[in-house]
Amino acid sequence: MIHDYLSIRIAAPVNFSFDDRHLLVQSDLSGTMQVFSLDVESGALAQLTDEVEPVNGMYLPDRRAILLATDEGGNERLQLRLMDAQTRRVRPLVVDPAFIHRPGGISRDGRLLAYACNRRNGVEFDIYVRDVETGAERLVFGEQGWCEAAGFSPDGQWLAVQRQGERSGDNDLFLVDVEVDRPDAVHVSPHEDQAAFGPPAWLPDASAFFFATNTGRDIISIARYDMASASWTYVLETPWDAECIVDWAGDSLLVVTNEDGVSRAELRDPVSLSRRAEIPLPGRGVASNFTYSRDGRRLAFHFTSPIEPGDVWLYELDGGTLRRLTTSPNPVDASTFCEPTLHRCRSFDGEEIPLFLYQPLAGPFVDAPSPVVVLVHGGPESQSRPMFISLVQYLVGSGYAVAVPNVRGSTGYGKHFSHLDDRRLRLDSVRDLEAVHLWLDNHPALDARRATVLGSSYGGYMVLAALVWQPDLWAAGVDIVGISSLVTFLENTSVWRRASREREYGSLTEDRDFLVEASPLTHIDRLRAPLFLIHGANDPRVPVSEARQVHRVLEEKGIRSELLVYDDEGHGLSKLRNRLDAYPKAVEFLDEVLAQDLATFVTGTSTT
């Protein structure tokens, strides 16, 4: 039965073709994310790529070609190729398997491609501009640290560049004049606080652009930069984090807000900023991947909710109508899907922790308090939102309750909250899980004695941290590509990631004592609960050694520990065949553990 849930497919739009007749769509119909062409009128879907590895792609404007980006076995070393949209022939564009190439915008005439690459020293990402036809390219922004290209101005003169700051959650925005031989960068965003600056949403004459930022405030709001005066000001205040895009003609400004995890999208006048219409989203969920048609009459987007697997939707601006463009295969009765309720629990210092709770309507435990799986997101700069997660729905359908908290450090609740776990505050986020458990224990429909914790990446770190610092609370853990030691993680992660992660977790040089103390592996003798580990052998972010070292120690201690390593995966499981192997085994593990006598590993209430 779990295979049916894991076989549910998704589809998401990328951008419109030059004539607006087709949408480039990414879908996992074949078992990995591949590129498709979707006829906007008929809904016919044509598969364009069929590769072993996942493929990213986008239409080139004004050219009948598609940019493709792929890696090898999840190693994240993206290589760029070009596909002829008619013949489907593919040719190399920017290929060097030793380095990473991240596309960051194509000029509106389809001639220039901007991308970031770490070829200079393997660590820092410089910005290059390449002529797609001739192959000529040049460095336009270099030796500035970790940078990303963020799109061209409508006239192709200016390239936006985002550069990571020296603190977590901080970046700068620059404009580079690519029409001069030795361009000087215009610094759009001088600031002193920790602040994020989003990519530009240009007006068609390139006189100004909108962007999202939270400098000088807690919430990400919308600002406008004027090219003539080289200055900017906030123009739209929002009570929740916001982002925006503008159509090619400059007639429509889309503003999307994240309201307690739920998306809200509205159209505004780019000049007066007056509200024109709210887009009637299909439900309470998450809308993303918004893209305007070239003529500005249509807006495509991806929508998902807890009861709606992700598909492509189309909004007609003229008539205000909404229609579904894709209906991805779903072998499970959608009426059985569960929507969560939103709650908040108070942590040790008074901070409120948002929590989505999924409760079973059927299954073996409905007449008694339900066992609980606590799902912790990765990042940590991320947010659990009300979207479709097949594993969650299977667990709920099998009688488990699933609690999905956003512990401190999560995004979506303001800058202050997102920095409450930085560096030496790391373990405060672990204490939030203790507050979550207390909340579960006070819920009459839940059995907190049978609470387990599951997470991926940073969420995997939180799994291990909960098991070692709160050993009396958790019956088991499932750690997917998680960190077991902050020290060995930072020492062995890919060199291009180390500086970025040290900003979040702490420096190996300056904070080693704390990194040792905050590592679950340091305190592994406290861990008593059974553990299930899943990892990709090619993970460039959290090396597979993180899983192997904790598995080895637990085996030596005689504690049940199961480890699955997939040779063709990286940071997570991107291939359906591997998910179909790993996740049923993980659920079987939970079923077996919770069927055992809990007294062997649950003794009371934690005092840490």
pLDDT, tens digit, for every residue of 350-373?
Answer: 999 999 999 998 655 556 899 999
Average pLDDT of the chain? 95
The helix/strand/coil state of 549 is helix
CA–CA separation, 326 and 26 (whole Å): 11
Q: What confidence score (pLDDT) does residue 598 get? A: 44
Tokens 């592994």, residue located:
524
The tens digit of pLDDT for each residue in 105-141 reads 999 999 999 999 999 999 999 999 999 999 999 999 9
Asked whether residue 604 carries a pLDDT value surpassing 70, the answer given is no
Which of 380-391 are b and which e, b meaning 16 or more Cβ less than 10 Å from the residue's Cβ? Answer: bbbbbbbbbbbb
pLDDT, position 364? 55
Chain centroid offset of residue 49 CA: 23
pLDDT, average across residues 136-158? 96
Residues 6+ away with beta carbon under 8 Å from 147: 116, 124, 125, 126, 127, 141, 161, 162, 163, 164
Q: Are 182 and 198 in contact (CB under 8 A)?
A: no
Type of residue at 568: D
Predicted pLDDT at 183: 80
Domain locations in the chain as residue ranges? 338-597
Cβ proximity of 403 and 319 under 8 Å: no
Q: Residue 602: what pLDDT?
A: 42
Give the closest residue to 98 by CA, choosing from 82, 115, 124, 79.
Answer: 79
> Which residue carries 């503008």 as its tokens?
246
pLDDT digits (tens, 9 = 90+) for 573-585: 999 999 999 999 9
| CATH number belonging to the domain at 338-597, selected among 3.30.110.30, 3.40.50.1820, 3.40.50.620, 3.30.9.100 | 3.40.50.1820
**Omega before 199 within 30 of 0, i.e. cis:** no
What is the rounded average pLDDT of the residues 97-107? 97
User: Is 376's pLDDT higher than 70?
Assistant: yes
Q: Give the chain's length.
A: 608
Token output for 395: 């667990």
pLDDT band at 104 (very low <50, low <70, confident <90, very high): very high
Decide if pLDDT at 603 tops 80. no
Instruction: Render pLDDT for 32-51 as a digit per residue (tens, 0 to 9).
Output: 999 999 999 999 999 999 99
Contact between 434 and 608 under an 8 Å Cβ cutoff? The reply is: yes
The whole-angstrom distance between residue 462's C-alpha and the CA centroid of its chain comes to: 17
- The rounded distance, in Å, linking the Cα atoms of 144 and 99 is 18
What residues are paired with 125 via a beta bridge? 146
pLDDT(599) > 90:
no
The predicted pLDDT at position 184 comes to: 86
Reported as a pLDDT band with limits 50, 70 and 90, residue 303 is: very high
Query: Pick from 84, 87, 49, 86: which is nearest to 69 by CA?
Result: 49
Residue 296's region, left for phi above 0, alpha for psi from -120 to 50, else beta, is left
Report DSSP state, residue 102.
E
pLDDT at 386 over 60: yes
pLDDT at 443: 97
Long-range contacts (CB closer than 8 Å, 24 or more residues apart) made by 116-124: 116/147, 116/148, 116/149, 118/496, 122/495, 122/496, 123/495, 123/496, 123/498, 123/499, 124/496
Per-residue pLDDT at 63: 74
Q: What is the pLDDT of residue 64?
A: 86
Q: What is the pLDDT of residues 406-458, one digit of tens each?
A: 999 999 999 999 999 999 999 999 999 999 999 999 999 999 999 999 999 99
The pLDDT of 325-343, averaged and rounded, is: 95
Burial environment of residue 98 by CB neighbours within 10 A (0 to 12, 13 to 18, 19 or more): exposed
pLDDT at 62: 75
